[in-house]
Amino acid sequence: MSSPTSTPGRRKRNRDDIPATPKSTRRRGQDSSNGDLPAMPTSPATDIASPAVHDTSLFSSPRRSVLPSEVDMSSPLMYGTPSSRVEARQRPDLGSIRKAPQVDLHSEPPSADGAVASEQALGQKLVIWGTDVNVGTCKEKFQRFLQRFIDPTSNEDENAGLDLNEPLYMQKLEEISVVGEPVLNVNCSHVQSFDADLYRQLISYPQEVIPTFDMAVNELFFERFPDSILEHQIQVRPYNALKTRNMRSLNPEDIDQMITISGMVIRTSQLIPEMQEAFFQCQVCAFSTRVEVDRGRIAEPAVCRNCNTTHSLALIHNRSAFSDKQMIKVQESPDDMPAGQTPHTTIVYAHNDLVDKVQPGDRINITGIYRAVPMRENPRQSNVKSVYKTHIDVIHFRKTDEKRLHGLDEDSDQKLFTEERVQILKELASKPDVYDRLSSALAPSIYEHEDIKKGILLQLFGGTRKDFSQTGRGNFRAEVNILLCGDPGTSKSQLLQYVFNLVPRGQYTSGKGSSAVGLTAYVMKDPETKQLVLQTGALVLSDNGICCIDEFDKMSDSTRSVLHEVMEQQTLSIAKAGIICQLNARTSVLAAANPVESQWNPKKTTIENIQLPHTLLSRFDLIFLMLDPQDEAYDRRLAHHLVALYYQSEEQIEEEFLDMAVLKDYIAYARTYINPRLNEEASQALIEAYVDMRKIGSGRGMVSAYPRQLESLIRLAEAHAKVRFSDKVETIDVEEAKRLQREALKQSATDPRTGFVDISILTTGMSATARKRKEEVAQALKKMIQSKGKTPAMKYQQLFDDLRGQSEAAITKDMFEEALRALADEDYLTVTGKTVRLL
């Protein structure tokens, strides 16, 4: 075993010259001149042969040899590249990576001759011990990947501003040279599509492959940009490993492999200085030596190499090297969990610059290496607990919800669908009656109300998001808002509950119990750090989802007022306790309101019945009435439906209706992948529909449609196209949107006095006829006053009585006062107390 003792020895001496202070990075540059030596296995054979020999001292450890997956100091995996003048930073996230020898696959235990021979010649055979990774090939492959990989379809926000037709990662290297942040994030799916074998190796042996990648990248980088100065060498941070998505599916086979899981941070520890390298000094001759920490253990040198005294070396804390480390607890995200079980948690260790990157409450995707901490022998205990502790050494964090705060527009949660699933969904979509099928699958326990269910279905799909920020109008709302009003006990709450359970990002609140703060966001002071933390409320939490608000009418005015911004601009502005920001709240609102007089009064308009400000009502695309229809045929069907609910078995139900899971996936798929656009015919149809709507009103001298109606018509048509999985909005979509809107208006905007549909009830809070009447009364009053001749002041009561006597129709006191006010606005008269004066 020809161990090149010269190399490590020299390095040690070199390092001793540097004034040693505890620090997290180490200098390796000096010895890099030897770095391009061919790989030489160095582990002494004795170590391998005698795994059972242990020191019994406190620092005892199974020596390196028995841990197969380590890379030797002098192997090419060691940090430092030939040309680099930049210090390498140790990567504690990868663990101790410097001690595994490379072995020749075809020869018996590594022979010195074989290893020293040219790497090129033996290239294919030489692999890192315990793996099938050949350093040279691996490096070459990765460099090729960096130089050649092009992803023209990339839509990741990280790649914004890069030319998609140029090699992606070369551009990123260029970016590094400019920005100086020496981290290269590599999407594993890119690696996979480029070279599946390389990907497999990366996943299976991250501890060995990532340093190889590092090396490859640094070589390439300093070749290209020989003059750049970086803080430390570039580190490769792979992310998006497809292997594991779910914390629950982690099993013993994943140990030491690279995984990506998603979850939510629940706790972070304080910074822990972790010893990377222990500094020992001989008490006798002051000879010093360094020992690297190997999996949490330090092999204390028993004998001083200089003076051969035994047990004379003492640890000097100040001169040992430490790195930053932080423990983070991550909990499974609620969407991944099977019902009825509690979420799992996993411990994650972040190192160096990843420390303090995440905060409790963040939803993150973590890429890292899954570790099981080996059992430790306890000298005082003959038998040990047979349980391993596991954790993940994190390589890459990716916040999944940060976009909500920063307003980048891209759906972050990419739900993955298997091909069979997509096939099923597409099959379903191709059925001509898919719209009806889906709508009847919605809340099957609730009887009829087909149009309401259809409306909610369209709400679940939503329109296409359009960006007009270029032209200064910002985003167009793509979300459909729906209000349900009606008699108590018409299963409104049930419908809301159902929707809340159906959508992944649903929130359910009750108007009674929620405050403006609970809906929007509030600022909290962390008791420990004194740091201000923004806690988001229901509306922000349901970004990209649906916010179900029950008892909408019971909400206080101030609470309701925050909805104005959310429901049109889809943002929430916060200015509190020094935090000023605008949060995205692209949420659809599904609200339910009860009439003021407990029973719906058909003689009154919607506004009068539910007493909500019209400014808010006009922001709802569809307003439905859920009334008890009170007719026999309906009763019969209802009874049948309810009785069936109680006696049908599960199977029968399932036959009849779509599975909730299918519906969920269908919606998720459509929301992610389908972005329908209007085609020519559909645009024409929309224009016509709008003109028609305007025409109806103009005949009677009133406005019967506003641009808001047109916008919601477009949204509904788009949503309907999404239901069909169609990329084009066609005429049938517009037809359905028109029908649905008409139905909703018929229910909610019918003027009870005239029986006509009157949109102004919703937009201005008063029907056109009512306004006309008001004017008429004012005119009559004016006429009457004028007919009285020159009387500068009149008694209020007398005037009222006169007007009542004159008019054929009954005039209430309210009407009279309104008329007075109208005339006062005209500067015709003033009312002071009980007298009315002309001006």
Using the rule CB under 8 A, give the single segment among 396-404, 430-438, 624-632, 779-787 that binds other proteins. Answer: 624-632
Cβ 367 to other proteins shortest distance, Å: 20
CA distance 160 to 20: 42
Among 98, 99, 325, 671, binds other proteins (CB under 8 A): 325
Note whether 338 binds other proteins by CB under 8 A. Answer: yes
- Strand pairing partners for 336? none
Cβ 343 to other proteins shortest distance, Å: 7
Note whether 251 binds other proteins by CB under 8 A. Answer: yes
> 339 or 810, CB closer to other proteins?
339
Note whether 651 binds other proteins by CB under 8 A. Answer: no
Are 280 and 290 spatial neighbours (Cβ–Cβ below 8 Å)?
A: yes
The encoded tokens of residue 93 equal 């996230």
> 121 or 642, CB closer to other proteins?
642
Query: With 0-12 CB in 10 A as exposed, 13-18 as middle and 19+ as buried, what is 374?
Result: middle
Using the rule CB under 8 A, give the single segment among 223-231, 238-246, 439-447, 605-613 that binds other proteins. Answer: 439-447
Note whether 361 binds other proteins by CB under 8 A. Answer: yes
Note whether 358 binds other proteins by CB under 8 A. Answer: no
- In this structure, what is the dihedral angle of CA atoms 262, 266, 272, 276, given to the nearest 10 degrees? -20
The encoded tokens of residue 347 equal 């411990």
Closest CA to 255 of 420, 388, 84: 388
CA distance 60 to 631: 86
Among 97, 173, 313, 443, binds other proteins (CB under 8 A): 443
> 327 or 780, CB closer to other proteins?
327
Report CA torsion sign: 110, 114, 115, 120. Answer: negative
Start-end of H helices in 515-659: 516-519, 538-541, 557-569, 606-610, 614-617, 632-647, 650-656
Cβ 533 to other proteins shortest distance, Å: 12
Using the rule CB under 8 A, give the single segment among 27-35, 368-376, 696-704, 784-792 that binds other proteins. Answer: 368-376
Note whether 390 binds other proteins by CB under 8 A. Answer: yes
Note whether 389 binds other proteins by CB under 8 A. Answer: yes
Note whether 387 binds other proteins by CB under 8 A. Answer: yes
Question: What residues numbered 559-578 form the site for other proteins, per CB under 8 A?
Answer: none
CA distance 303 to 292: 16
CA distance 22 to 19: 10
The encoded tokens of residue 133 equal 């990774």
What's the CA angle centered on 764, arms 759 and 766, to 5 degrees? 80
**# of chain residues touching other proteins (CB under 8 A):** 83
Closest CA to 259 of 335, 303, 202: 202
Cβ 445 to other proteins shortest distance, Å: 4
Note whether 381 binds other proteins by CB under 8 A. Answer: yes
Query: With 0-12 CB in 10 A as exposed, 13-18 as middle and 19+ as buried, what is 358?
Result: buried
Question: What residues numbered 500-529 form the site for other proteins, per CB under 8 A?
Answer: 501, 513
Note whether 715 binds other proteins by CB under 8 A. Answer: no
Using the rule CB under 8 A, give the single segment among 100-108, 114-122, 420-428, 493-501 that binds other proteins. Answer: 493-501
Among 22, 130, 343, 518, binds other proteins (CB under 8 A): 343
Among 144, 376, 466, 694, binds other proteins (CB under 8 A): 376
Using the rule CB under 8 A, give the single segment among 6-14, 374-382, 524-532, 604-612 that binds other proteins. Answer: 374-382
Note whether 627 binds other proteins by CB under 8 A. Answer: no
Phi, psi angles (nearest 5°) of residue 111: -95, 145
E strand segments, 462-578: 466-468, 474-476, 482-486, 507-510, 521-525, 532-536, 546-550, 571-576
> 83 or 204, CB closer to other proteins?
204
Using the rule CB under 8 A, give the single segment among 201-209, 268-276, 406-414, 714-722 that binds other proteins. Answer: 268-276
Among 160, 422, 639, 839, binds other proteins (CB under 8 A): 639
Note whether 21 binds other proteins by CB under 8 A. Answer: no
Given the structure tokens 């509030």, which residue do they identify? 522
- Strand pairing partners for 466? 476
Note whether 344 binds other proteins by CB under 8 A. Answer: yes
* Residue 426, H or E segment: helix 419-430
Report how far apart, in Å, the C-alpha atoms of 789 and of each of 222, 554, 734, 804, 837 are: 100, 50, 59, 19, 13
Report how far apart, in Å, the C-alpha atoms of 276 and of each of 90, 299, 362, 762 are: 9, 12, 29, 69
Question: What residues numbered 43-82 form the site for other proteins, per CB under 8 A?
Answer: 51-52, 58-59, 62, 66
> 416 or 633, CB closer to other proteins?
633
Closest CA to 565 of 458, 470, 462, 475: 475
Among 224, 406, 525, 640, binds other proteins (CB under 8 A): 640
Among 373, 524, 579, 793, binds other proteins (CB under 8 A): 373
Question: What residues numbered 294-313 form the site for other proteins, per CB under 8 A?
Answer: 296-298
Among 45, 121, 408, 653, binds other proteins (CB under 8 A): 653
Note whether 497 binds other proteins by CB under 8 A. Answer: yes
Are 587 and 539 spatial neighbours (Cβ–Cβ below 8 Å)?
A: yes
> 374 or 752, CB closer to other proteins?
374
Note whether 643 binds other proteins by CB under 8 A. Answer: yes
Closest CA to 421 of 138, 770, 662, 592: 662
Note whether 385 binds other proteins by CB under 8 A. Answer: yes
**Which DSSP letter does residue 372 get?**
E
